[in-house]
Amino acid sequence: MTIQWFPGHMTRARRQIEEKLKLIDLAIELLDARIPVASRNPMIEQILKGKPRLVLLNKQDLADPQATAEWVAYFRSKGLEALPFDANTGYGMKEIVPRAKILLADKIQAQIKRGINPRALRALIVGIPNVGKSTLINKLAGKKVALTGDRPGVTKGQQWIKTNVDLDLLDTPGILWPKFEDEAVGMRLAATGAIRDQILNTQDVVFYALRYLIPHYSNMLQARYEIELDLKNINLTNAEDIIGVMELIGRKRGCLISGGKIDLDKTSTLFLKDLRAGKIGRITLERP
């Protein structure tokens, strides 16, 4: 399945980023710690053209801490500096400028040798929609200067923003890629709320999520919904077994329609709200 989704403002955003590259010192790439691969635009290497980059694994408070540690090690093994991060609470915020200065140490030293007093670092904030860019900027600025929202695509244009930490930031709209060739990428983005719920069938998204969560986070599922899963007899390739788990959850949550049947649409909506809010537990849907 190929999912086509590339609004016009995202095409403009890519062009604007490419035009601003000569003005910035580094890029700060925000990824969702729960889905570091799916939330990473595969065009980013081409767009940034080798600019120094700091990777922030945002929403780390919602992600499996062991998995986040593995992802930090993975990115560092690829030569990219990475930090666990939480834009809402500010976790990891104090590390951003020191790490950025390490990445730009040669450039800063060259300026000092020429008798130039190093100016504030100029950073471009990049990431897909709803990954937390505007929240990060507001935290760094110490006030609300960028629009935020709980839906994809809130930021519509670019803006330079001065902060209190020797850093000037350029906010840009989130850029998704033209299409998802890999169905799993679209499902993971939908499960975490990075793309609008109308793009994919909600029941399909929950079905996909449960096929991953049952073998990896069964204890959390059972605790949250007060259900018992017969793991030895659940066949993850059997659709009826997965639907059976959805029905267990729906029955426990009172998602019933006439005749005592389970309302799978209502169950799916409830489940996704829980998953995205971290109410099931700290879950990561990808491993290095």
Residues 170, 98 share a domain: yes
Return the structure tokens found at 67.
């998995």
Mark which of 145, 179, 213 sits at the end of a domain.
Answer: 179
Element (H, E) at 190: helix 183-192
Read off the pLDDT band of 149 (50, 70, 90). very low
Tell me: do 155 and 267 sit in the same domain. Answer: no
Report yes or no on 270 lying in a domain. yes
Domain assignment of residue 196, yes or no: no
Residues 167 and 207 placed together within one structural domain of the fold: no
Structure tokens at 76: 């560092």
Statement to judge: residues 9 and 146 lie in one domain: yes
Q: Which of 43-57, 64-78, 114-128, 250-264 has the highest mean pLDDT?
A: 64-78
The answer to the question of residue 190 being in a domain is no
Cα 139 from Cα 231, distance rounded (Å): 43
Same domain, 135 and 255: no
pLDDT tens digits, one per residue of 214-234: 999 999 999 999 999 999 999
What is the domain extent for residue 131? 3-179
In a shared domain, residues 66 and 208: no
Does residue 63 sit in the same domain as residue 31?
yes
Q: What is the pLDDT of residues 15-62, one digit of tens each?
A: 777 777 888 899 999 999 999 999 988 778 888 888 899 999 999 999
Kindly tell me if the per-residue pLDDT of 129 is higher than 80.
Answer: no
- pLDDT attached to residue 155: 43
**Do 255 and 133 share a domain, yes or no?**
no
Greater confidence (170 vs 29) lies with: 29
Alpha-carbon distance 176 to 7, whole Å? 9
Residues 52 and 165 in one domain: yes
- Determine the angle formed by the axes of helices 202-216 and 183-192, rounding to 10 degrees: 90
CATH value at residue 211: 1.10.1580.10
SS3 content of the chain, % helix, strand, coil (to 5): 45, 15, 40
Is 254 domain-assigned?
yes
| Residue 77 shares a structural domain with residue 124 | yes
Residues 63, 106 share a domain: yes
Residue 186 resides in a domain = no
Instruction: Report the distance separating Cα 137 and Cα 65, nearest Å.
Output: 24
Using CA atoms, how far apart are residues 61 and 283, in angstroms rounded to an integer?
Answer: 9
User: What domain count does the chain have?
Assistant: 2
65 near 282, Cβ under 8 Å? yes
The answer to whether residues 149 and 78 belong to one domain is: yes
**Contact between residue 194 and residue 37 where contact means Cβ atoms under 8 Å apart:** no
Mean pLDDT, all residues of the chain: 86
